[in-house]
Amino acid sequence: MNESALNSALQAIVGEEHVLYSAADLAAYAYDATPLYRSVPTVVVFPGCTAEVRAVLELATARQVPVIPRGHATNLSGGTIAINGGIMLVMTRLNRIMEIDAANLTATLQPGVTTAALAKEADARGLFYPPDPGSQVVSTLGGNVAENAGGLRGLKYGVTRDYVMGLEAVLPSGEIIRTGGKNAKDVAGYDLTRLLVGSEGTLAVITEITVKLIPKPETKRACLAIFDDLQQAARTVARIIENRIIPCTLEYMDQGTIQAVEEFAHVGLPTDCEALLFIEQDGPAAVVDADIELAGEICREEGARELKVAATPEEGTKLAEARRFALSALARLRPTTVLEDATVPRSHLAEMVRFINEVAVKYNLRICTFGHAGDGNLHPTCLTDERDHEEIERVEQAFAEIFDKAIALGGTITGEHGVGLGKQNYLEWKVGHAGIEVMRRLKAAFDPANILNPGKVLPTATRKRLVVKQG
Ligand SMILES: Cc1cc2nc3c(=O)[nH]c(=O)nc-3n(C[C@H](O)[C@H](O)[C@H](O)COP(=O)(O)OP(=O)(O)OC[C@H]3O[C@@H](n4cnc5c(N)ncnc54)[C@H](O)[C@@H]3O)c2cc1C
């Protein structure tokens, strides 16, 4: 099918105004939040309902055209790059919250709703949707489900997977499946809901989502612990949890990140310290007070030079926002920011932090690290320049060592950002050869013609981790 026939067929499905194909428009959809990858799609389509998604997929399967589902493209694994062209299926017109069910404590919504919009709607009814990726103001629930997004509250509340109860999804054939639902218990057959969560747009297009909500915590309190030794900060994380405190947020920032955030947001962070921990607890007031007090004592015992307890929940929220600025603040420092999410059991956090710093020295790179320390989920972030190919080669080698170390410590190559394009060739390190083969068979069962987000997640023999492909 030539391009003009494809565009006309798509216009007939979604309406002329919802199809883009000018060179300028296509260029705007050639990239996502992941550095180093760019490739223009053939056409961009904005469906307005499930029936339109179905018709687009039927057309694409019949014509063997790749389809790349897309929310707001904030993913950090190249998940929405149209590596072989194809139809960019942007789900943002599907942005209605259809129902908040107070009796069953669920919300049912379309995939283009942003994470923050759902959280706000729940909050207005005294309810709580905990998953809160740093991108929550922009990221969509469809993207969150497809990436199994985590966030700052993962330690206590879990990740997106723990809240998704049911899905409507369209298969590449155009068939519509419904998985799960509002039942607290449901063991009918294989758990297709869990399979689709984290499937990175490679198995089906998600068109409706039912999530669990929980009662809103009564109160919350936060504090900052400031350390002159980053090893002390990393050790403190494991000790807090050993002491049976599960904070809702336990975040780590190293000196490079603190300096960048302070320069960007001017929130009063001490720029001369080596590391800080942001600790937040929520729940009944007495429990929150006791936990923050004990966590503070542990920080002091481990050598914190200062403890700043937020006087009000609002002050605590401001400190949490400072942490959310980390990536944006670091991204201002050099032309290219390569952020990773190697993850280890938290008991190995101190060792992993030390290793990342050694690797940075070995490869003469600037790597700043921050992350969800309570989850062992670190974001070593390399500040580099994609035009310097020799340096990018060193970045590649440095991250290969970091992933290798994470696996050796019983960790994983990605805690929340997904495999996408960047980490396919490391996936076997984590899941083994047999694991890859099972995944290939699952992909073939859902998408025998391989039209849905092809070239993502599963390894390719030839592709290196970092490829600059100009579109
Ligand atoms: C500043 C910043 C902070 C971030 N912080 C976090 C964080 O704390 N935790 C975290 O986990 N991530 C974080 N991220 C990564 C990112 O925001 C998440 O992966 C998010 O879930 C992506 O949502 P999106 O709407 O942008 O999806 P997109 O980037 O558009 O898509 C992501 C993937 O989902 C697929 N997809 C999208 N919609 C659908 C659908 N309806 N059906 C099927 N597949 C679909 C796409 O094909 C792609 O593979 C951050 C990113 C940035 C830029």
State both tokens at 3: 């391009």
**94 C-alpha to center of ligand 1: Å?**
16
Predicted confidence at residue 461, as pLDDT, reads 62
User: Element (H or E) spanning 399, and its range?
Assistant: helix 389-408
Q: Which whole number is the average pLDDT over 167-174?
A: 98
At 201-211, the pLDDT tens digits run: 999 999 999 99
pLDDT in tens, 326-341: 999 999 999 999 999 9
* Band of pLDDT at residue 471, cut at 50, 70 and 90: very low
Residue 88 pLDDT > 80: yes
Atom 28 in ligand 1: residue holding the nearest Cα? 73
How far is the centre of ligand 1, averaged over its atoms, from the C-alpha of 296 (Å)?
34
Checking if the pLDDT of 356 tops 70, the result is: yes
Name all residues whose Cβ lies below 6 A of ligand 1: 32-33, 68-76, 79-80, 91, 111, 133-135, 139-140, 142-144, 146-147, 149-151, 200-201, 205-206, 327-328, 416-417, 453
335 C-alpha to center of ligand 1: Å? 22
For residue 134, the ligand 1 atom closest to its alpha carbon is 5
User: Within a 10 A sphere around the Cβ of 11, how many other Cβ atoms?
Assistant: 16
What is Dmax (Cα atoms) for the chain? 70
Given pLDDT bands bounded at 50, 70 and 90, which one contains residue 316?
confident
Q: Whose CA is nearest to atom 32 of ligand 1?
A: 143
Residue 465's pLDDT is 52
Burial of 140 (0-12, 13-18, 19+ CB in 10 A): buried
Residue with tokens 């405190």: 245
Task: Supply the pLDDT for residue 470.
Answer: 38
Which atom of ligand 1 lies closest to the CA of 453? 47
pTM, rounded to two decimals: 0.95
> CA-to-CA distance for 113 and 92, rounded, in angstroms?
7
Mean pLDDT, the chain, rounded, equals: 94
Is the pLDDT confidence value at 69 over 60?
yes
pLDDT at site 108? 98
| Bridge partner residues of 370 (DSSP) | 253, 379
Q: How far is the CA of 126 from the centre of ligand 1 (A)?
A: 26
Is the pLDDT confidence value at 462 over 60?
no
User: Which amino acid residue places its CA nearest to atom 1 of ligand 1?
Assistant: 135
Residue range 264-281: mean pLDDT, rounded? 93
Angle between helices 3-14 and 50-63 (to 10 degrees): 160
Which secondary-structure segment (H or E) carries 210? strand 205-212
Nearest residue to 292 (alpha-carbon basis) of 229, 350, 243, 346: 243
**pLDDT class for 467, splitting at 50, 70, 90?**
very low
Strand partners, 109: 97, 209
User: pLDDT, tens digit, for every residue of 407-448?
Assistant: 999 999 999 999 999 899 899 999 999 999 999 999 999 999
Q: Which atom of ligand 1 is nearest to the CA of 169?
A: 42
Q: Looking at ligand 1, which atom is closest to the CA of residue 145?
A: 21
**Opening angle at CA 107, ends 106 and 110, nearest 5:** 150
Is 80 exceeded by the pLDDT of residue 355? yes
Q: If you measure from the C-alpha of residue 149 to the centroid of ligand 1, how many angstroms do you get, rounded to a whole number?
A: 7
Q: How far is the CA of 262 from the centre of ligand 1 (A)?
A: 26
- Mutation pick for ligand 1 pocket among 70, 90, 93 (CB with most ligand atoms within 8 Å): 70
Start-end of H helices in 175-284: 192-196, 230-242, 255-265
Half-sphere exposure of 29 (CA within 13 A, CB side): 27
**Residue 412 β-bridge partners:** 343
Model confidence pLDDT, tens digit, residues 286-300:
999 999 999 999 999
Give mean pLDDT, residues 154-160. 96
Pocket perturbation via mutation, ligand 1, pick of 53, 81, 139, 157 by most ligand atoms within 8 A of CB? 139
**413: closest CA among 352, 336, 362, 330?**
352
The strand pairing partners of 168, in sequence order, are: 178, 208
Residue 469 has pLDDT above 90, yes or no: no
Local confidence band at 174 (pLDDT 50, 70, 90 cut-offs): very high
66 alpha carbon – ligand 1 mean position (Å)? 20
Mutate to test the pocket of ligand 1, among 80, 147, 332, 447 (most ligand atoms within 8 A of CB): 147
Q: What is the mean pLDDT of residues 255-282?
A: 93
Q: What distance, in Å, lies between the first and last C-alpha atoms of the chain? A: 22
Q: 177 has which bridge partners?
A: 169
**How many whole angstroms from 290 Cα to the centroid of ligand 1?**
36
In the predicted structure, residue 65 carries a pLDDT above the cut 70 = yes
